[in-house]
């Protein structure tokens, strides 16, 4: 990582920032509800080396309401379109203190709303770059502070690719078709997996962060990662052995560990318990996944997709231009976290009552007995649709 630090470099170091041009201390921009502001509009060629943001907003959910976008080389559609907090590696509309090779956050202890956010991913551009933020909330962002540090170049080398980033969510993950087969614990396809990335072009995938809201209790993992390179096939080019294994952990997740290329950036709630919120990350900095025509990255939600937890993710990759437009970003109301409830939802696509979910402590037989279902019914009565049951942290 430090091998090239002492070598002479070409170019000129530049910065765009929110500094107060009057010389006073009003070094932040205000962004009204519904307003989009261009932070940087750069000409020519260069490489963005570092981005620093910190924000003071009235709405506690601003990290999911605010959208960060980036365009390269005059392409009409953005190559990066991600909620603000998720881009910097933390989901759930929260901040925290953590550090890895390409991102970090620094927050005061006990403060999950305000933090310094840093990104060190190189972002090359050959003929212009534009970066904006849009406040899709109703209340204003009172203060948006930023630095964007970059190298201005006479010419960008031809082999430089462009950064892309995509945010997705399934809230909750849908019911897998295989669960209705005579072998519900067998999955030999990625069709029902949680999709992290699907892209066309040539480049390399450099990883993702995954935010999970645990809706069943117990261990939310055991989902195998699957990566298909340059076309669909079975088995996939890369097939993993479990969620914790893809994120380079083992025997579950370790919420206290945040390492250079993998770890946990955020955790709240009971570990492996109902209402747990966690963001895990795996960045392929030393081992990028190369593709020449296309790539498809997915992961099971529970073993054989037998859980319907709330999943959201940010995928990062470099590729050639022109690139296809990103899938539409979900509207703001579909990006917000679920409320912090202490009740177990019973209207999930995979009910906690039909059979034991992987990793979950819930015993469907005890549930049915406790709730006096009609004999033979695996679903709650229709009058319960949309309801929730309290079981004292699902221990009942």
CATH 2.60.120.1390 domain range(s) in the chain: 9-159, 161-179+191-343
Q: Which residue has better confidence, 348 or 27? A: 27
> What pLDDT sits at residue 343?
62
Q: In the CATH hierarchy, which top-level class contains the domain 9-159?
A: mainly beta
> What pLDDT sits at residue 26?
97
pTM strictly above 0.85: yes
Over the stretch 244-267, which tens digit does the pLDDT of each residue have? 999 999 999 999 999 999 999 999
Whether 103 has a pLDDT exceeding 90, the answer reads yes
Sign of torsion, CA 11 17 22 23?
A: negative
- Contact between 147 and 50 under an 8 Å Cβ cutoff? The reply is yes
DSSP secondary structure, 343-354, as one string: SEES-SSS-TTS
Total number of residues shown for the chain: 396
Q: Which residue has better confidence, 288 or 376? A: 288
Q: How far is CA 253 from the centre of its chain?
A: 17
Give the mean model confidence (pLDDT) for residues 381-395.
40
Calculate the average pLDDT of the chain: 91
> What pLDDT sits at residue 3?
82
Give the mean model confidence (pLDDT) for residues 269-282.
94
- Contact between 102 and 209 under an 8 Å Cβ cutoff? The reply is no
Give the mean model confidence (pLDDT) for residues 269-284.
95
The hierarchical CATH code for the domain 161-179+191-343 is 2.60.120.1390
Confidence of residue 342 (pLDDT cuts 50, 70, 90): low
Q: Which helix (H) or strand (E) holds 266?
A: strand 262-268
């Amino acid at each position: 990582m430090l091998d090239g630090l002492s070598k002479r470099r070409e170019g000129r170091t530049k910065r765009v920032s929110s500094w107060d041009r009057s010389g006073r201390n009003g070094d932040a921009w205000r962004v009204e509800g519904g307003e989009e502001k261009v932070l940087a509009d750069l000409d020519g060629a260069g490489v963005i080396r570092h981005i620093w943001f910190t924000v003071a907003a009235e709405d506690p959910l601003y990290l999911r309401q605010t959208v960060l976008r980036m365009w390269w080389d005059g392409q009409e559609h953005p190559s990066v379109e991600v909620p603000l907090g998720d881009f910097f590696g933390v989901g759930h509309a929260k901040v925290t203190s953590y550090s890895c090779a390409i991102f970090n956050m620094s927050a005061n202890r006990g403060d999950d709303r305000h933090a310094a956010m840093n990104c060190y991913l190189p972002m090359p551009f050959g003929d212009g770059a534009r970066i904006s933020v849009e406040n899709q909330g109703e209340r204003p962002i009172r203060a948006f502070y930023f630095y964007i540090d970059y190298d201005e170049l006479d010419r960008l080398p031809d082999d430089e690719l462009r950064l892309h980033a995509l945010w997705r969510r399934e809230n909750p993950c849908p019911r897998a078709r295989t669960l209705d087969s005579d072998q519900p614990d067998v999955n030999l396809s990625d069709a029902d997996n949680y999709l992290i990335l699907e892209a066309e072009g040539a480049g390399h995938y450099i990883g993702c962060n995954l935010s999970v809201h645990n809706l069943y209790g117990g261990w939310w993992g055991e989902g195998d990662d699957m990566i298909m390179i340059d076309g669909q096939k079975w088995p996939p080019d890369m097939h993993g052995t479990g969620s914790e294994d893809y994120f380079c952990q083992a025997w579950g997740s370790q919420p206290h560990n945040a390492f250079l290329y993998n770890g946990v950036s955020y955790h709240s709630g009971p570990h492996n318990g109902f209402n747990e919120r966690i963001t895990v990350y795996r960045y392929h900095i030393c081992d990028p996944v190369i593709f020449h025509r296309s790539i498809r990255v997915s992961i099971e939600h529970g073993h054989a997709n037998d859980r319907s937890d709330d999943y959201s993710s940010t995928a990062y990759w470099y590729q050639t231009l022109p690139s296809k437009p990103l899938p539409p970003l979900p509207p703001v109301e579909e990006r917000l976290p679920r409320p912090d409830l202490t009740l177990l939802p019973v209207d999930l696509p995979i009910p906690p009552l039909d059979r034991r979910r992987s990793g979950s402590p819930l015993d469907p037989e005890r549930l049915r007995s406790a709730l006096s279902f009609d004999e033979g019914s695996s679903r709650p009565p229709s009058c319960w649709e949309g309801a929730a049951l309290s079981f004292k942290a699902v221990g009942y």
